[in-house]
Amino acid sequence: MIALVLNKVEEIKMKVTSDWILSLTEKIFYMIPCLFLGYLFLLSLETKLGILSPVQHNPIYTVYFITFLSFFFCGFLTRQIRILKDKDEAFVKLGTLLLLASQLVMLNMICAAMLIFFIKKEFSWDIRHIPFRQLKWRWQLALCFYIATTAFLVFIVRQMIL
């Protein structure tokens, strides 16, 4: 019985690839803001006000609104990492690290765990050796720094509010 379970676990491990992990992470990044907007819609139906009235009147909803809408950018960045995974190792490593840091600061542990699993699967924990000489400064990298900066600012504002 134990051998059967272990064989099934090994079979599942073989099916889980880094592309699958990034694809699932991207879908989660797109789904979370839609769920938050749905929550705002339900809240607006209950209060009979506009959909953005909680965001305008409550600073906690404003912080969450900024946080969750930045996840659309994170999803787009995850797609770029998946596309450039075999072509630009320096960008993939730096982008993944910045995206992981931003998700840890925003307390999005589900996507952070998925990104850690991607790092383990793709690079075998050898992510700290980023070939900076091969790094091409592109707009995707600027988006990485934008997401990281937004995450740290949201973290500071959230600490001030709560």
Report pLDDT digits (tens) over 114-131: 888 888 877 776 666 766
pLDDT value of residue 53: 85
CA torsion 46→52→57→60, rounded to 10°? 90
Q: Integer distance in angstroms from the first to the last C-alpha of the chain? A: 50
Q: How confident is the model at residue 137 (pLDDT cuts 50, 70, 90)?
A: low
CA 87 to chain centre: 21
pLDDT value of residue 154: 80
What are 67's two structure tokens?
Answer: 């946080």
Identify which has the larger pLDDT, 60 or 135. 60
Query: How far is CA 76 from each of CA 41, 48, 53, 110, rounded to the nearest angstrom?
Result: 24, 34, 28, 17
pLDDT value of residue 34: 92
DSSP 106: T
pLDDT value of residue 16: 63
Q: Does 31 score more than 90 pLDDT?
A: yes
Identify which has the larger pLDDT, 71 or 158. 71
The beta strands (E) that lie in the chain are given as: none
How many helices and strands in the chain, by DSSP H and E? 7, 0
pLDDT value of residue 8: 63
pLDDT value of residue 161: 77
What are 155's two structure tokens?
Answer: 């973290």
pLDDT value of residue 35: 93
Q: Does 4 score more than 80 pLDDT?
A: no
Of the candidates 50, 44, 45, 101, which has an alpha carbon nearest to the alpha carbon of residue 77?
101
Handedness of CA 34, 35, 37, 41 (dihedral sign): positive
CA 5 to chain centre: 31
Q: How confident is the model at residue 112 (pLDDT cuts 50, 70, 90)?
A: confident
pLDDT value of residue 115: 84
Q: How confident is the model at residue 135 (pLDDT cuts 50, 70, 90)?
A: low
